[in-house]
C-alpha cells in the first residue's frame, strides 16, 4: 500500500465524521479513524494521531464544523457562544503550532461575518470554509515546493528532521514538497532523515513516505547529523516549522535548533519551509513562543518493550525548540523565499498575501 495514495485528513459529512490516518500506527499499519465526538478529536490531536501543523489546522477546521453541525439552536448569539466554546476547547489540545488557532479563528470569523444569516446557512458556510482551508493548503504546498526546487539541483543530498511531508499536510508537504515535485519531474535526490527522538517521526513517517515515492533515503540517528555534514554528503538542510515569529525565529520539532547550529558551522544552507499560516506576525521573536511539554513516558518507555530509564528519574521533554533567525538561510513560503533581515522580508510577504 502506497501511503501517498491516501489523504491524512478528510471529512465524511454524510456520516458526521472526521477521517484521519492514524500516524501513531505507521509504518507498520495503515489505519483510518472515523471520529465523531469532539473529545475524540481533541485526543487525536494531542496524541499525534493527526500531526503536522497544516494537517492539525485542517483537522481542527473540520472538527469545529462537525461540533456545531448538530447544534439545535435558532438564535445567533447562543449558536456563536457554543461555537466559541468548542473552538477554545479544540485550541487547547496543542499550544505551539499556530495553524491550529489560525484555522479555528478563521472558522469563527466566518460565522461572525454571517451573523445575519440563518443558522442552517451558517453551518453550510462553515463546512465550505473548512473544505477551502484544506484545498488552499494543497495549493500552498505545491507553490512552496516550486520555490524550494530553485534551491537544489538533481543529485543533491538533503538532510531533514521530523516529518514535514504529505503526511503533515493536505498534499506534498512543506520541507518535502520540493522532493516530491522533483520526483514527479524525474529528478533524484539523496535524503538523510533524522530519526527525530523521542517520537521518531523521521524514522516512522518520513522514511516511509519518501520510500513510497522512490526517493533514495537513508535513516540516521539524530546524533549522526554532524558526521554526515563533515563527510560532505549534505548540500542543504530542509525543515518545516510549527510557528515562525515576526523576526524569523522558527519553532520546529525538538532537535531542529541543533541542526541549524551545525549547518552554520559547516557552511551548509539551512532552509525553513512553511505556509504563511504558520507565521505569527503578532509575536516579536521565538522567546514568545509557548513550547509544549510532553509526557515523560515518550522518552522512558513508549517505543520499548521494557522501560529504558530508572523509575523516578527526572525527565525533560519539550516537543519543540527554536532556531534563531541568524542561523536560517531562507524561509520558503507560498509567496516566495524570505531572506534576512526577516523582520522586513516577512512583512513584505504578508503585504503580497
Q: Which three cell numbers stand for residue 65?
A: 464544523
pLDDT in tens, 46-101: 999 999 999 999 999 999 999 999 899 989 999 999 999 999 999 999 988 789 99
Instruction: Please provide the average confidence, as pLDDT, over all residues in the chain.
Output: 96
C-alpha atoms less than 13 angstroms from C-alpha of 317 in its C-beta half-sphere: 17
pLDDT of residue 179: 98
Q: How confident is the model at residue 34 (pLDDT cuts 50, 70, 90)?
A: very high
* Distance separating alpha carbons of residues 277 and 56, to the nearest angstrom: 12
Which pLDDT score is estimated for 148? 98
Looking at residue 32, what is its pLDDT? 97
Residue from 161, 145, 157 nearest 321 by CA: 161
Q: Out of 242, 249, 280, 321, pick the active-site residue.
A: 242
Per-residue 3-state assignment (H helix, E strand, C coil) for the chain:
CCHHHCCCEEEECCCCEEEEECCCCCCCCCCEEEECCHHHHHHHHHCCCCCCHHHHHHHHHHHHHHHHHCCCCCCHHHHHHHHHHHHHHHHCCCCCCHHHHHHHHHHHHHHHHCCCCCHHHHHHHHHHHHHHHHHHHHHHHHHHHHHHHCCCCCCCEEEECCCCEHHHCCCCECCCHHHHHHHHCCCCCEEEEECCCCCCHHHHHHHHHHHHCCCEEEEECHHHHHHHHHCCCCCEEEECCCEEECCCCEEEECCHHHHHHHHHHHCCCEEEECCHHHEECCCCCHHHCCCCECCCHHHHCCCCCCCCCCCCCCCCCECEEEECHHHCCEEEECCEEECCCHHHHHHHHHHHC
Architecture of domain 3-141: Up-down Bundle (1.20)
> pLDDT by residue (tens digit) across 97-107?
789 999 999 99
Q: Which has the closest alpha carbon to 242: 48, 96, 59, 47?
A: 96
Domain assignments of the chain as residue spans, ordered by start:
3-141, 145-352
40 pLDDT more than 70: yes
Contact 46, 295 (CB under 8 A): no
Give the pLDDT confidence score for residue 95 in this predicted structure.
Answer: 86
Q: What is the dihedral of CA 178, 202, 17, 41, to 10 degrees?
A: -130
pLDDT value at residue 304: 86
pLDDT tens per residue, range 133-189: 999 999 999 999 999 999 999 999 999 999 999 999 999 999 999 999 999 999 999
1 pLDDT above the threshold of 80 = no
Do β-strands 157-160 and 250-253 pair in parallel, antiparallel, or remain unpaired?
unpaired
CATH topology assigned to domain 145-352: Rossmann fold (3.40.50)
Separation of alpha carbons 21 and 80, rounded Å: 30
Looking only at the bridges linking them, the beta strands covering 17-21 and 157-160 are: unpaired
Q: Is 280 a catalytic residue?
A: no
Per-residue confidence at 233, pLDDT binned at 50, 70, 90? very high
Strand partners, 157: 190
Distance of alpha carbon 28 from alpha carbon 35, whole angstroms: 21
Q: Tell me the β-bridge partners of 32.
A: 21
For 302-319, the pLDDT digits (tens) are: 888 899 999 999 999 999
Q: pTM of this prediction?
A: 0.94
Q: Are 97 and 78 in contact (CB under 8 A)?
A: no
Amino acid at each position: 500500500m502506497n501511503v501517498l495514495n491516501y489523504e491524512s485528513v478528510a471529512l465524511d459529512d454524510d456520516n458526521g465524521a472526521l477521517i484521519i490516518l492514524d500516524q501513531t500506527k505507521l509504518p507498520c499499519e495503515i489505519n483510518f479513524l472515523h471520529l465523531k465526538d469532539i473529545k475524540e478529536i481533541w485526543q487525536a490531536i494531542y496524541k499525534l494521531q493527526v500531526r503536522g501543523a497544516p494537517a492539525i489546522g485542517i483537522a481542527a477546521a473540520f472538527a469545529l464544523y462537525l461540533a456545531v453541525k448538530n447544534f439545535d439552536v435558532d438564535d445567533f448569539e447562543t449558536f456563536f457562544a457554543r461555537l466559541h466554546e468548542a473552538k477554545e476547547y479544540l485550541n487547547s489540545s496543542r499550544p505551539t503550532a499556530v495553524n491550529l488557532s489560525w484555522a479555528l479563528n478563521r472558522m469563527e470569523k466566518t460565522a461572525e461575518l454571517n451573523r445575519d444569516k440563518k443558522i442552517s446557512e451558517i453551518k453550510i458556510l462553515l463546512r465550505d470554509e473548512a473544505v477551502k482551508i484544506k484545498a488552499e493548503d494543497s495549493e500552498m504546498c505545491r507553490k512552496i515546493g516550486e520555490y524550494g526546487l530553485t534551491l537544489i539541483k538533481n543529485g543533491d543530498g538533503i538532510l531533514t528532521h521530523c516529518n514535514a511531508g504529505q503526511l503533515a499536510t493536505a498534499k506534498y508537504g512543506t520541507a518535502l514538497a520540493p522532493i516530491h515535485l522533483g520526483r514527479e519531474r524525474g529528478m533524484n535526490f539523496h535524503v538523510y532523515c533524522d530519526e527525530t527522538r523521542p517520537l521518531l517521526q523521521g524514522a516512522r513517517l518520513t522514511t516511509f513516505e519518501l520510500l513510497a515515492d522512490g526517493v533514495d533515503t537513508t535513516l540516521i540517528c539524530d546524533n549522526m547529523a554532524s558526521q554526515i555534514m563533515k563527510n560532505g554528503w549534505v548540500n542543504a538542510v530542509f525543515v518545516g516549522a510549527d510557528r515562525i515569529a515576526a523576526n524569523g525565529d522558527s519553532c520546529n520539532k525538538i532537535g531542529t535548533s541543533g541542526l541549524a547550529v551545525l549547518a552554520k558551522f559547516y557552511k551548509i544552507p539551512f532552509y525553513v519551509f512553511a505556509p504563511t499560516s504558520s507565521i505569527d506576525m503578532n509575536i516579536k521573536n521565538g522567546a514568545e513562543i509557548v513550547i509544549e511539554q510532553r509526557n515523560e513516558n515518550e522518552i522512558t518507555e513508549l517505543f520499548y518493550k521494557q522501560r529504558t530509564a530508572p523509575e523516578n528519574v527526572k525527565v525533560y521533554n519539550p516537543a519543540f525548540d527554536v532556531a534563531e533567525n541568524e542561523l536560517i538561510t531562507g524561509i520558503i513560503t507560498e509567496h516566495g523565499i524570505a531572506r534576512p533581515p526577516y523582520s522586513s522580508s516577512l512583512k513584505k510577504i504578508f503585504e503580497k498575501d
